[in-house]
Amino acid sequence: MANLGCKSPGTKFCHRSSLMLATCQCRLRAVTSVSLFRFLLTSFLLLQWADCQTQHLTPALNPQCYRSTNITGACIPVNGSSVERMCLGAKIPFTHTSLALAHDSSSLKEVQERLLMWSGLQNVPQCWAIVQPLLCSVYLPNCSDALGVTLPSKQLCERTRKPCQIVHDLNNGWPDFLQCDHPNFVSGCGPEKYDFVSFNTTGKCEAPLIRTVNPDSWYHGVEGCGMPCDNPLFSKDDHKEAHTFVAVFGSICLACTLFTLLTFIIDWKNANRYPALIIFFINACFFLGSVGWMAQFAGDARTEIVCRKDGTARKGEPQLGSDESIWCPVIFTMIYYFLVAGICWYVMLAYAWCLTFTALGGSTAKGRDPGSTPQEVLRSRTAYFHIISWCCPLVLTIVCLAVSEIDGDSLSGICFVGAHNSGVRAMFVLVPVGLVIIVGTFFLIKGVYTLTKIRNDAPAFIPEKTFSKIRATIIRLGIFTVVALGFVFITFAVHIYIFTNEDKWEESIRQHLLCKANMSVSAAGKDPELECAIQDSPSLLAMELHIFAFFGAGIAMSSWSWTRASLSSWERFFRWVFHKPSNKPVKLKRHRMIAQMFEKRKEINQGRMSISYRSSHDDPLGKSSLISYC
């Protein structure tokens, strides 16, 4: 070591080595100091944590938290069979217990039988997770000769009340010794030993309920379980039959309304006038509504529409912040908006017919030029027709979405307002439909009365053919009115049937669930298995009639295009498409030429006149001949 300072040629190297060695030693001492500090700090924190846990696990020796064995009797050892050393599937964390707290048991065997009965709460997952420590603390409490029987805390008891609400529906509810105001439950006691026991049995849901963590889907009194997407009141065969029913009549309604729309489009020049144009808007509404109904048949669309991702039925849609698909509110909007719009246009149609027939009768409406035509009278009101028929449904649809009352219906395969809330359904469906039908029927009856009066008071020079057309129109309007009222009657009758029986159906489901839970059996495991079935369920025929009311109304509205004039329009259209000229001569009827000249009297006065030969053909609804006589 003395040679480290030598003056040999390697002196520089020798000094450099000494410097590196000293640096390494300093770094080693620094690292050792840091590691030692970390070790000491970690040890200190672990000791503090262990001390806290020891204090936490050891309840304060509050005399109120224990009951002397002089009162309860001697402690009972739990070193018997493996079953007796268990509580609801968990090993008892002590060696002695007592039967003093559970008043319905006089032996460990009876304790196990009572616990087996309470295991029915396993079908209520949220309840089962919290009630197990309570039941074990009461039926198999810790007991020692020095302290006595450990009493369960009152807070533990109170935590079970809300998630175990279903217990109140069973027999007489909680037994007396499990009431939270019983002297066995004491406030302020330390944690129970069972609070730190890992129970091996987890909650499950008894069919037809399924497990879900969404509180909005929980069935009343059974937290953690929700109703499945498929309504348990109907069997799988019922669902299949209803879906087939929707497919058949939905397709018919789509085809009929589409035919009417195309009939108007191919002859738009003649059809683009009121009141016939209102038929076009009504059929457009029912066509788009039917598209909403039929969307469920596109692959797995029905599941996306009426089911949540967890397999429960969709309720209270739309839910802000939810990761569910938007198809439920979209389908609801398509069906509900265009349904309400269609019935609003029905009122406009009845009102337009009433005005037209009044003009035909020669009466003078307020503010109308006596010389004006029915088309001119209606033209001045078309803006109001559109405002009322499109805006009123929009307001109702927005309100329905805002209050989140859209529910999925597995039987019909759509989402609709108030499917699980009769009050909301009555407010947003029955009230609008009822008001519209009353107003529309009033105008239809008034129009029929006016036409009847026209037929009776018509001048003698009007030909008999016109009388026959007036008569046919009266009959057709009468049939149309009766059919419309029939569909409304079906709607109201089915809803009254649902409203008066839904409580009974709900109770039937509840009793079915209680039966399957089998929580009120007096001797668990000894009684024969109960036969559990839903006793009361809705009539499938009534539900199908309710569905048919929509499609039937659409078919009835499209029937106004089932005329010979429509066939003529299609014939002209196909001749035009295939370039086949028509050999039929155009027959100009005198009354129609007079009607056209009257409509264009202002042009005639200005020296201009143009009469359309094409318009001499009947319009798709065949009403030109009536209107032309005004």
Q: What percent of the chain has pLDDT over 90?
A: 26
Is residue 241 domain-shared with residue 169, that is, in the same domain?
A: no
Which tens digits make up the pLDDT trace of 478-510?
788 888 888 989 999 999 999 999 989 988 888
Give the SS3 label for residue 307.
strand
**Residue 444's CATH number:** 1.20.1070.10
Which tens digits make up the pLDDT trace of 253-281?
999 999 999 998 888 877 777 878 888 99
**Residue 174's CATH number:** 1.10.2000.10
Q: 144, 172, 197: which is the final residue of a domain?
A: 197
Identity of the highest mean pLDDT range in 47-61, 328-342, 594-608: 328-342
Average pLDDT over residues 286-291: 95
Omega before 329 within 30 of 0, i.e. cis: no
* Weakest-pLDDT range from 108-117, 294-303, 341-350: 108-117
SS (H, E, C) 142-190: CEECCCEEECCEHHHHHCCCCCCHHHHHCCCCCCHHHCCCCCCCECCCC
Start-end of H helices in 361-463: 374-379, 382-402, 422-425, 431-457
Residue 607 has pLDDT above 70, yes or no: no
Average pLDDT over residues 341-363: 81
**CA 447 from chain center: how many Å?**
41
Token pair of 254, please? Answer: 């789509």
10 Å Cβ neighbour count for 57?
A: 12
Query: Does residue 373 belong to any structural domain of this protein?
Result: yes
Distance CA 574, CA 581 (A): 10
Is residue 349 domain-shared with residue 435, that is, in the same domain?
A: yes
| Contact in structure between 143 and 150 (CB atoms under 8 Å) | yes
Query: Does residue 132 belong to any structural domain of this protein?
Result: yes
Is residue 161 domain-shared with residue 290, that is, in the same domain?
A: no
Query: Does residue 48 belong to any structural domain of this protein?
Result: no
- Rg of the Cα trace of the chain? 41
Number of domains in the chain: 2
Is residue 403 domain-shared with residue 288, that is, in the same domain?
A: yes
Residue 213 has pLDDT above 80, yes or no: yes
Residues comprising the chain, all counted: 630
Pairing of strands 90-91, 86-87: antiparallel
Is residue 193 domain-shared with residue 259, that is, in the same domain?
A: no
Is residue 243 domain-shared with residue 318, that is, in the same domain?
A: yes
Residue 23 has pLDDT above 80, yes or no: no
Query: Does residue 36 belong to any structural domain of this protein?
Result: no
* Weakest-pLDDT range from 162-171, 263-272, 302-311: 162-171
Query: Does residue 395 belong to any structural domain of this protein?
Result: yes
Which of 354, 441, 347 minimizes the C-alpha distance to 392?
Answer: 347
Is residue 296 domain-shared with residue 445, that is, in the same domain?
A: yes
Q: What is the pLDDT of residue 532?
A: 75
Is residue 143 domain-shared with residue 289, that is, in the same domain?
A: no
Which tens digits make up the pLDDT trace of 345-355?
999 988 888 88
Q: What is the pLDDT of residue 521?
A: 44
- Select the more confidently predicted residue: 359 or 293: 293
Residue 34 has pLDDT above 70, yes or no: no
Residue 610 has pLDDT above 80, yes or no: no
Residue 621 has pLDDT above 50, yes or no: no
Residue 58 has pLDDT above 60, yes or no: no
Q: What is the pLDDT of residue 483?
A: 87
Q: What is the pLDDT of residue 565?
A: 82
H or E stretch at 294: helix 276-294
Amino acid code (one letter) for 197: V
Nearest-5° Cα angle at 211, 205 to 214: 135
Which tens digits make up the pLDDT trace of 134-147?
998 899 888 888 88
Query: Does residue 599 belong to any structural domain of this protein?
Result: no
Start-end of H helices in 430-539: 431-457, 464-517
- Select the more confidently predicted residue: 557 or 53: 557
Q: Is 518 left (phi over 0), alpha (psi -120 to 50) or beta?
A: left
Give every CB contact of residue 160 below 8 A, 6+ residues apart in sequence: 127, 130, 131, 134
Which of 126, 109, 127 minimizes the C-alpha distance to 118?
Answer: 127
Q: What percent of the chain has pLDDT over 70?
A: 72
Q: What is the pLDDT of residue 12?
A: 43
Token pair of 431, please? Answer: 């009230």
Is residue 357 domain-shared with residue 437, that is, in the same domain?
A: yes
Name the residue range of residue 547's domain. 236-518+532-563
Give the SS3 label for residue 290.
helix
Query: Does residue 52 belong to any structural domain of this protein?
Result: no
End-to-end CA distance of the chain, in Å? Answer: 135
Distance CA 27, CA 197 (A): 49
- Select the more confidently predicted residue: 50 or 149: 149
Q: 197, 218, 245: which is the final residue of a domain?
A: 197
Sign of the alpha-carbon dihedral angle for 153, 159, 161, 164: negative
Is residue 140 domain-shared with residue 256, that is, in the same domain?
A: no
Query: Does residue 394 belong to any structural domain of this protein?
Result: yes
Q: Which residues pair with 610 in a beta bridge?
A: none
Nearest-5° Cα angle at 105, 101 to 107: 105
Q: Is 581 left (phi over 0), alpha (psi -120 to 50) or beta?
A: beta
Sign of the alpha-carbon dihedral angle for 312, 315, 316, 320: positive
Q: What is the pLDDT of residue 372?
A: 55
Token pair of 513, please? Answer: 């669930």
Q: 172, 197, 222: which is the final residue of a domain?
A: 197
Which tens digits make up the pLDDT trace of 434-471?
998 899 888 888 877 877 777 676 655 556 666 677 67
Is residue 168 domain-shared with residue 280, that is, in the same domain?
A: no
Is residue 252 domain-shared with residue 135, that is, in the same domain?
A: no
Q: Please give the model's pTM, rounded to 2 decimal places.
A: 0.74
Q: What is the pLDDT of residue 277?
A: 86
